[in-house]
Amino acid sequence: MTDDRSEEPGSELQGTRRSFLKNFGIGTAGAVAAAIPTATPAWGGLTFREAFDDFFRKHYKKMSPEEIQAMLNRVEGRAKRRFGVDISCKNTPAQEGVVFGYAINLGVCQGYRDCVSACIKENNQGRDSQVQYIRVLEMDRGSVNLEHSEHYYDPATVPQEGKYYLPVQCMQCDDPPCVKACPVEATWMEPDGIVVIDYDWCIGCRYCMTACPYWARHFNWTEPELPVEELNTNTHYLGNRPRPRGVVEKCHFCVQRTRENRQPACMEACPTGARVFGNLLDPDSEIRYVLENKTVFRLKEDLGTEPKFWYYTD
Amino acid sequence: MRWLFASAPAGKAERIGLFLKLEAGVVAFFIVVASLLSSLRVGAATDDQRAARHPAPVPFTVGARLEKLYFYPCADCHAYMDPDDNLRELDVEKGHPSKLEHGGGLIWCFSCHDSPDYGKLRNLLAEPIDFDSGYQVCGGCHSQKYLDWTHGAHGKRVANWHGDRRLYSCMECHNPHQPAILPRAPEPPPPIRAGLNPMAPGKADEVRRSRPEWEQINDR
C-alpha cells in the first residue's frame, strides 16, 4: 500500500511538472497573454477587481446609490461569466404606503403544487434541489396538526378524500425572529414588510433557520442546476438574483415582481385562485376585504411573531 | 377624616335617595331620546351597517367569453328547432353535455339560457344577458360567492395586485354544466434523498412508508 501511494502521486507530480516546464519553455509571454482572456474563473467567477470590491464593500443599508449600482453591475457581470446570459439585476425600492399581506383560501386550494413549480422557475432554483420556498402540506380534514402533515404526497390525483392542502412559505412576520437571530445583519425587514436577505452578506451560519418556527428558510448546499435557457433574467438584488452556494434563502414575496405591481409568481400560477395578495394599508384592497369579512387564522399565532400571512375558507 | 366619618351615616340615605331619583330621570330621558332617534333613523342605520360591512367593490373588468365559445351562433341549429323544456338525455355529438350535473335536478337549459333568442343567457327575472356577462347569471343563485368574487375573496385576478382590476369570469374555472372542479395529477413532490443519490421519481412515497433504517438492522 505504501509503495503504491508513494509511486502514483509521485509520477503524476513528475508528469505535471514536466509538462509545465515544457510549456514554460515554449514561450512564457505568449502563454500568459493567451491565458488571460480565456482563463477559468478564479476568485469564484470574479475578476480580481470585483473580488476586491466585494470583499471591502459596505453593508447594503450603508451604501451610496453609486456603490449599489456598482454592486448590481458586479452581479450582472458575474452572471454573464457563469451562465453566458445577460440578466438585469434591479434594486427597485419599496413603494410608499405599502405593506404586503397574503391570504390563502384553503377551501379552494386543491394541492396541485402549481405554485411550487412556478416559484422554482421564477427564483432560478435547481430543478432537483430541495430548496423550495413553498411546501404544500397535506392535512387530515378536521385537524390542523402540522406534525401529522405530509409534504411528500404524490397520489395519482389530488385532492384526496378526507384531506385538505395547506401551502406554507415565508410568513413575512412583522416581528421576525430570524432577523433577531442573524449575527451579521444579513437579513432585515424592508419598509413594505418583506423580510429579505443579502446573500453576499450572509455567512451561512443558519441561526435564522433554527429561529424560524415555519421552516421557511432553506440552506442551499449546492449550486443550482438548471438549463440556462430557462434562467429568469428579471432579477432583484434582494430577491431572485443568482445566489452563491452556502447561504440561506427564502420566499421574498417575489420582490422583483410585486414592487412593480405584478403578482407573485405563485399567485399568478395558482389555477384555483386560492391566493389573495395585496396592500394591507389600502382599505379597498382585496386582502383587506378578506381580513374584515372572512374568518381568518394564522399559523402558530401564539408565538407572537405577527405573520402577515393568513388562511381562510369560504 | 373625622368629619367624613361623622357625617356619613346621617347623609348617606338622603344622598342615595337623591341619586336614585336623578338616575331614574336620566334613564327616562335617554329612553325617550333614543326611541325618538330610532323611530327616525331605523332604516338608515341598517343601510349604513350593511354598507360598512360590504362597501362597493373596486370597479373591475371581466375577460370576454363569447370568443371562446366553440358552438356559438346557437341559432345556427336552434332556429329550426322548437324549444323542449323536458328533462332528457341530450345528444353529445351535437356539442351538448349529455346530462346536467348542476343544481341537483332543479334547473334545466332554460333556467340559464334564453329561449327565443338563443344567443343570450337569462337571469332569474328572465331578462336576456350576454355570454360575456354570464357571471351575472351565476350570481343570481350563488349570491354570497358572487359578492366574494366581486371583492376578490373568491376567484382569480389577472396579472397585477394594484391598478386595473381584471378578473376571470366564473366560467374560466367552472364548467357551468358540471361546476365541481375535477381532481387532477399534482406537480412532482420535493425530491428527497436516499443516501447521496437523488431520489428516483415516484419512489418518494415508497421510501417514506418503509421502516427507518435503524429498525431494519436486526433483520440482516
Give the Å distances, CA to CA, from A313 to A8, A293, B19: 68, 11, 53
B191: left (phi over 0), alpha (psi -120 to 50) or beta: beta
The residue-averaged pLDDT of A175-203 equals: 96
State the nearest Cα–Cα gap between A255 and chain B, in angstroms: 13
Q: Which residue of B has its CA nearest to A111?
A: B186
Q: Is residue A134 part of a domain?
A: yes
The string of pLDDT tens digits covering residues B20-31 is 666 766 666 667
Q: Are residues B70 and B47 in the same domain?
A: no
Compare B205 and A184 and report the one with higher pLDDT.
A184
Quote the domain boundaries for residue A27.
Answer: 1-39
B195: left (phi over 0), alpha (psi -120 to 50) or beta: left
Q: What is the pLDDT of residue B106?
A: 86
Q: State whether residue A159 is helix, strand or coil.
A: coil
Q: Is residue B214 part of a domain?
A: no
Query: How many Cβ atoms are within 10 Å of A291's Cβ, its own excluded?
Result: 17
Q: Prior bond to A159 cis, omega within 30?
A: yes
The string of pLDDT tens digits covering residues A78-106 is 888 888 889 999 999 999 999 999 999 99
Angle at A101 between CA A181 and CA A290, to 5 degrees: 140
Sign of CA dihedral B193, B197, B200, B203: negative
Q: Is residue A93 part of a domain?
A: no
Q: Which of residues 120-149 of B touch A (CB under 8 A)?
A: 145, 148
How many CA atoms within 13 Å lie on the side-chain side of A51?
Answer: 8
Quote the domain boundaries for residue B27.
Answer: 1-53
ipTM exceeding the 0.90 mark: no
The string of pLDDT tens digits covering residues A26-37 is 444 444 444 444
Which of A155, A258, A289 lies closest to B152 in CB terms?
A: A289
| Total number of domains constituting chain B | 2
Radius of gyration of the CA atoms of chain A, in A: 24
CB contact burial A71-86 (16+ within 10 A = b; e otherwise): bbebbbebbeeebeee
C-alpha closest to that of A245 among A222, A268, A228: A222
Q: Are residues B70 and B46 in the same domain?
A: no
Interface membership of B152 toward A (CB under 8 Å): yes
The string of pLDDT tens digits covering residues B177-206 is 899 988 999 998 887 765 556 566 666 666
Alpha carbons B159 and B174: distance in angstroms, whole number: 20
Q: Is residue B201 part of a domain?
A: no
Q: Any bridge partners for residue A136, and if so which?
A: A167
Confidence of residue B207 (pLDDT cuts 50, 70, 90): low
Tell me if A279 and B168 make a contact (CB, 8 A cut-off): no
Give contacts of B152 with chain A, Cβ < 8 Å: 276, 278, 285-286, 289-290
Phi, psi of A153 (to 5 degrees): -55, 140
Residue A207 burial class via C-beta count within 10 angstroms: exposed 0-12, middle 13-18, buried 19 and up: middle
Q: Is residue A277 part of a domain?
A: yes
Give the Å distances, CA to CA, from A53 to A49, B5, B152: 6, 83, 47
Q: Is residue B219 part of a domain?
A: no
Q: Is residue A283 part of a domain?
A: yes
Counting other chains too, the contacts that A32-36 makes at CB distance below 8 Å and 24 or more residues apart are none
Q: Which residue of A has its CA nearest to B199?
A: A128
Q: Are residues B156 and B113 in the same domain?
A: yes
Alpha carbons B149 and B142: distance in angstroms, whole number: 10
CATH code, domain with A176: 3.30.70.20
State the nearest Cα–Cα gap between A115 and chain B, in angstroms: 9
Quote the cell numbers at residue B159.
396579472
* Max avg pLDDT among A281-290, B52-61, B210-219: A281-290
The string of pLDDT tens digits covering residues B11-67 is 555 666 665 666 766 666 667 666 655 555 544 445 566 556 667 888 899 988 888
Q: Is residue A72 part of a domain?
A: no
The string of pLDDT tens digits covering residues A114-150 is 999 999 999 999 887 778 999 999 999 999 898 888 8
The string of pLDDT tens digits covering residues B111-167 is 899 887 888 999 999 899 999 999 999 999 999 999 999 999 999 999 899 989 999
Q: What is the pLDDT of residue B42?
A: 46
Alpha carbons A296 and B45: distance in angstroms, whole number: 27
How much is the pTM? 0.77
| pLDDT averaged over every residue in chain A | 86
**Identity of residue B80:** Y
Contact yes or no for A274/A109 (Cβ under 8 A)? yes
Q: Are residues B78 and B167 in the same domain?
A: yes
Q: Are residues B167 and B150 in the same domain?
A: yes
In sequence order, the 6+-apart residues with CB closer than 8 A to the CB of A251 are A119, A133, A134, A169, A170, A172, A216
Q: Are residues A28 and A155 in the same domain?
A: no
Determine which helix (DSSP H) or strand (DSSP E) holds A225, and give its type and residue range.
none
- A/B interface, count of CB pairs below 8 Å: 111
Residue B183 burial class via C-beta count within 10 angstroms: exposed 0-12, middle 13-18, buried 19 and up: middle
**Least confident residue range of A90-99, A159-168, A196-205, B118-127:** B118-127
Q: Are residues A179 and A292 in the same domain?
A: yes
| Total number of domains constituting chain A | 2
Q: What is the pLDDT of residue B5?
A: 47
Residue A303 burial class via C-beta count within 10 angstroms: exposed 0-12, middle 13-18, buried 19 and up: middle
Q: Is residue B21 part of a domain?
A: yes
Q: Any bridge partners for residue A149, and if so which?
A: none
Q: Which of residues 21-60 of B touch A (CB under 8 A)?
A: 53-55, 58
Alpha carbons A199 and B207: distance in angstroms, whole number: 34
Counting other chains too, the contacts that B206-210 makes at CB distance below 8 Å and 24 or more residues apart are B208/A152
| pLDDT averaged over every residue in chain B | 77
- Strand ranges, E, within B111-206: 121-122, 128-129, 166-167, 193-194, 197-198
Alpha carbons A121 and A268: distance in angstroms, whole number: 13
Q: Are residues B66 and B166 in the same domain?
A: yes
Contact yes or no for A185/A201 (Cβ under 8 A)? yes
Residue where the block lists cell 437571530: A181
Q: Give the torsion through C-alpha atoms of A103, A107, A112, A114, to 10 deg.
A: -20
